[in-house]
Structure formats: structure tokens, C-alpha cells
Amino acid sequence: GHGSSGVLYGINFNMLICKENGNIDLLRHKHLILFACHSLDFIKRHGLISALGFGEIPTSDYDIANGKLHGLSIKDLNSSDVEYIKTALVRIWKNSLAEANITDRNCFHQAFSFQTIKEIVKCLTTCESRNFRLIADVLYYLKTDMVFID
């Protein structure tokens, strides 16, 4: 999904979960994995617990064209690089779900971190893009920005 520190968006950027809709409480007392940009900020801002959140997750040409990631310009990435990132994300999710029980957020967090590291190594050793290092950095920040709030 898409997100910001105050809103989780549905398709076509419709405000799905936000203070204005009065539905933040739907997430309280739930075990959450919020795979959306700035979901970690969202979790902290709304005092949610037992939640796994993320930072910036650039997965579109728009994200790349307008983006910096921890001060690192990612504007040199191209559409093929974005597709590489999205394919890597699918593999990370698929392998993490196969490896860990999703109901155990700590175990899932560890599996997701491990699978992300594997994708970073794969990128650094086999990716044919001239931007392979930048792609690896995007994956690295995916891993380091992912935090489990208990």
C-alpha cells in the first residue's frame, strides 16, 4: 500500500485509514504488518503497538523522480531498476512468508531482514544494471528502516 505519517492509502490514493476518517481505532490492539511508505512514522504517530512498520519504499518512477533516500539521490534509477526492486520485493515477501509464521511478528521481522540481505547480495553480485549499487542501497534502507514496535 501507500502511506504517510498520518494516512494509509488504498488504491488510487484514497485515504483509507486516517484521523479524518475516524478509523484509526480499527488498528488498535491488532498485530500489524504495515508495508507502506512511512508506515513506521504512522505507527509511532498513532501510538500503535505490536506493529511492523517501514520507511520509504520507492516502487514507482514517480517515487524515483522525486526521491531521496536518507540523503541519497535515487534519481538516476530508471524504469528497469524500479522493476528490479519490485521483483526483489516480491521474492523477499514470498521467501519470508515461506520461512516464518506471519503471526509471530518477531520471527517474521528476522526472516524479512534475512531475505532482504540475500537480495542485496544477489543485486551486488548478479544485477546487470549500471545502478546496481544504488539498487542495493534501496534494499538496504528497506531493511534498516523496518522496525517492530512492541
Q: Do residues 8 and 33 make contact, with C-beta atoms less than 8 angstroms apart? A: no
pLDDT-derived band of residue 1, with 50, 70 and 90 as boundaries?
A: low
* DSSP H or E segment with residue 81: helix 79-99
Continuous segment of H or E residues that includes residue 109: helix 105-126
**What average pLDDT score do residues 93-109 get?**
89
Interval 120-126 mean pLDDT: 98
Q: In 10 A of CB 139, how many CB atoms? A: 23
pLDDT confidence band for 4 (50 / 70 / 90) = confident
Alpha-carbon distance of 55 to 145, in angstroms, equals 5
Is the pLDDT at 89 greater than 90? The verdict is: yes
Please tell me the predicted confidence (pLDDT) of residue 76.
Answer: 93
Whole-angstrom Cα Rg for the chain? 16
The CA–CA distances, whole Å, from 23 to 7, 16, 46, 117 equal: 11, 8, 11, 35
Does the pLDDT value for residue 16 go beyond 90? no
Q: Kindly report whether the global pTM for this prediction surpasses the value 0.85.
A: yes
